[in-house]
Amino acid sequence: MATSDYRIVPLPHSIEPQKGSPFILTASTGIVYPRGNESLRQTACFLAHYIQETYGFTPEVKEGEAQPNCINLVTDNTEVLPEEGYLLDICKRNIVITARSGAGFFYGIQTLRKSMPVTDQKKLCFPAIRIKDEPRFRYRGAHLDVGRHFFSVDFIKKYIDILALHNLNTFHWHLTEDQGWRIEIKKYPRLTEIGSKRKESLLNDGSGKYDGTPYGGFYTQDEIRDIIRYAADRYITIIPEIDMPGHITSALAAYPELGCNGGPYEVATSYGVHKDVLCVGNEQSLRFMKDVLSEVIDIFPSRYIHVGGDECPHDRWLHCPKCQALIRKNNWKAADGHKPEDRLQSYFIAEIEKFVNSKGRKIIGWDEILEGGLTPNATVMSWRGTENGVKAAGEGHDVIMTPAGITYLSSRQLEELDGNRNIRRIYDFDVVPDTLSETAARHIIGIQACLWSERINTPQRAEYLLLPHLAALSELAWSDPGQHDFNAFMERLYRLIPIYDKNDYTYSRQVFQITEDFHVDTVHNILEASFSTIGQRPIYYTLDGSLPDTSSLLYTGPIQIKKEAKLQAAVITPDDTSDIFTEQIHVNKATFKPAWLANPPHKDYTFGGVSTLTDGLSGNLNYNTGRWLGFLKDMDLTVDLLTPTQISSVSLTVNVSKGAAVMDATGLEVWCSDDKKTFRKLASAVYPVLRKEDKDGIYTHSLFFTETQARYIRVIAKVTPRLPAWHMWPGNPAFLFVDEVCIN
């Protein structure tokens, strides 16, 4: 007989074991819902289906009063329980789920479902328990972009099922993009006749080439209404996004008169930010968007309508007679850090908000809607870090946290973190920053995961990026933060995997591989390497570059490394062998030596601190792995070589990702000292600010000089002071990401 385990994902608020015998679930067990309650009948049928797919028998679903040998759904009429909360009481006689809303019952059933082990046994033991549970946030969301790549109705429903399994209650459906318009609008049929199709797509291999294959797809209004009903049965609200005034090339291709220069335009075949946007100075543009939103609001019952507002370049507005005329008419001037064109975007979003409010709805927008002055009642999705969300919450606006480096599950920066680091980066995210006042903190209403589909052209790829990382986000959204324990979460996550397998979900197994941790001991000048893996499985390792096997060294504790080495390790059991972990450790005169920084790294990119720069470990193209330190001020590093040492060169590497405002160094200086007080310059160089056509990647900078003896070496790498005019965020601060500093 199998036994249920209530330590699930997300973790319930309170789990209290009770005295008494357990409840035994068998083929004779029934499910009872209140008489005449059709919505709870549907919920009871869900539970019957979950039991059938796991154990092969279907409990009888019936209406009436609570009964023995049954799972009973009992309505709470006292309103003591919160809207989405529930009580789960289990004793020998029966199981009772008590809630005041359909959503509460649904989440109680999800808890039962996830507590049941996947097994071929026909009896299941439920130990006596009382679970009292409710969500932390009222908004718990996941997003899917169907503009870059289109997904079938069947997959959208599968996606909704995945959200339901993880106790999420909102599906943010990104329906329009430069690369495709995906929703039928009856008043503007060319949106789908023309705007839903592109002539080809950019390949994802980094070659810059195209596949030469036409691509398209859209959802009819009837298909969308069917999906909305499907989601509602699972207590999931669908929020549609119609992106404006940027990311709208697909609409301009269909109706070129809506652009500043009249076109012709074509549906975009490449990704990124496109300069052709709606002509805000043209009254027809506002009328067009109101017409579109009228049909969207008629289809979607959601309280919120998402209007995008992100990544809208102002290049066309600068030279558009109609847009400039509107600026002059309203006497908009540059002020408070905002240009007149910023006011254009604010004006447009404000007009759209008035219209949406007149229909009894509210708008959500990406945090760019803060620019030019935030519209009065808008809710903000803070995607460019958390700072804009903090600002909006401080001004009294509701905020949903969606920082790109943490909740964008399709991001290479997240995907390429090895071991369990990517899922840990999500799990360790502080949704409500402690800098907020108590009043402002109440305006953080939730968190959302995002899947952008530039690199997602199959359903399997979408699932792979979503799972199991969505489990970590679901725990942030639902569980009490005081209960958060990453190691315990990973054990609970491991028990969720059989449900993924049972439902044929595609998921990443990366989080179950070896996870390494390196620590520099500058007192003994060594690098300590530690390993961990789920279930404490045996790990074997080598230091000479040979492949590990069961005759290799067995890992029992931190490995001390003092010299050049190629470390390789693997989990090896009779039933399981992990991927090979490999790390090359390079040693130079600065490696493992004490060091300090005059300017600290940015708080989000401090990682392992100053020793990251001299730990012998090289960073890859992903600046977010913890191998790079990110600076907004000059990197000013001093290394203590411990004794006077002959040196003749200094080098370092810089990670460049221009689109993310991560630029190259603009200068390098090397100084030396014998007493840590008086320094003399050994060499310097000046580097040009990157041009738009310069490539992203890892740049190496070296300075060579006459051999000199010194103990203290100071290395200064200069930041790009401001992003250049060609950048999408000109004038904003630029990051400098530096990794290994080598002294020889």
Query: Does 603 have pLDDT greater than 80?
Result: yes
Predicted local distance difference test score (pLDDT) of residue 665: 98
136, 480 contact by CB (below 8 A): yes
Q: Within 13 Å and on the Cβ side, how many CA atoms surround 179?
A: 20
621 and 698 Cβ atoms separated by less than 8 Å? yes
Global confidence as pTM: 0.87
Per-residue model confidence (pLDDT) at position 373: 62
C-beta of residue 179 within 8 angstroms of C-beta of residue 271: yes
- Contact (CB, 8 A) for 122 and 27: yes
Count of Cβ atoms closer than 10 Å to residue 437 Cβ:
10
| Phi, psi (degrees; rounded to nearest 5) at 487 | -65, -40
**pLDDT at position 587:** 97
Mapping DSSP onto H, E and C, the string for 366-407 reads EHHHHCCCCCCCCEEEECCCCHHHHHHHHCCCCEEECCHHHH
Q: Give yes or no for a contact between 69 and 30, defined as CB atoms under 8 angstroms apart.
A: yes
The answer to whether 441 touches 432, Cβ cutoff 8 Å, is: yes
**630 phi-psi bin (left φ>0, alpha ψ -120 to 50, beta other):** beta
Lowest mean pLDDT among 195-209, 275-289, 294-308, 557-571: 195-209
Give the pLDDT score at 120: 85
What is the distance of C-alpha 288 from the center of its chain? 32
Q: Across residues 67-71, what is the average pLDDT? A: 97
Q: Which of 255-264, 337-346, 638-647 has the lowest mean pLDDT?
A: 337-346
| pLDDT (mean) for 653-659 | 95
Fill in the DSSP letter of residue 721.
S
Pair 199, 211: CB distance under 8 Å: no
Please state the rounded mean pLDDT for residues 209-219.
96
36-50, 325-339, 635-649: least confident range: 325-339
The arithmetic mean of pLDDT across residues 332-352, rounded, is 88
Tell me what the mean pLDDT of segment 34-53 comes to.
95
Cα separations in angstroms, 295 against 131, 193, 221: 43, 17, 9
* pLDDT on residue 535: 72
pLDDT bracket for residue 372 (50, 70, 90): low
220: tokens are 């009819």
pLDDT in the model for residue 716: 98
Residue 551 DSSP SS3: coil
pLDDT tens digits along 610-620: 999 999 999 99
- Residue 416: per-residue pLDDT: 82
| Mean pLDDT computed over 369-383 | 81
Contact (CB, 8 A) for 311 and 244: no
Encode burial over 317-342: b for 16+ CB neighbours within 10 A, e otherwise.
beebebbbebbeeeebeeeeebbbbb
Write the pLDDT tens digit of every residue in 513-558: 899 999 999 999 999 999 988 777 899 999 999 999 999 999 999 9
Using an 8 Å Cβ cutoff, are 201 and 215 in contact?
A: yes
pLDDT digits (tens, 9 = 90+) for 87-116: 999 999 999 999 999 999 999 999 999 999
**pLDDT mean over 637-648:** 97
Q: What is the mean pLDDT of the chain?
A: 95
Confidence of residue 278 (pLDDT cuts 50, 70, 90): very high
Residue of 377, 374, 373 lying closest to 363 (CA atoms):
377
Q: Which domains does the chain have, with CATH numbers?
A: 2-133 (3.30.379.10), 139-507 (3.20.20.80), 513-585 (2.60.40), 595-743 (2.60.120.260)
Which tokens go with 32?
A: 């009872």
Give the integer Cα–Cα distance in Å for 15 and 10.
13
Query: Does pLDDT of 376 surpass 80?
Result: no
pLDDT of res. 307: 97
**Between residues 522 and 120, the one the model is more confident about:** 522
Q: Is the pLDDT of residue 723 over 80?
A: yes
Query: What's the CA gap between 601 and 735, in Å, rounded?
Result: 10
The mean-pLDDT minimum among 6-20, 242-256, 488-502 falls in 488-502
Please report, for residues 27, 116, 396, 478, the alpha-carbon distance to residue 50 in angstroms, rounded to integers and kept in the order given: 13, 10, 42, 22
Task: Render pLDDT for 672-701 as a digit per residue (tens, 0 to 9).
Answer: 999 999 999 999 999 999 999 999 999 999
In the chain, the percentage of residues whose pLDDT exceeds 70 is 99
Report the pLDDT value the prediction gives residue 173, as an integer from 0 to 100. 98
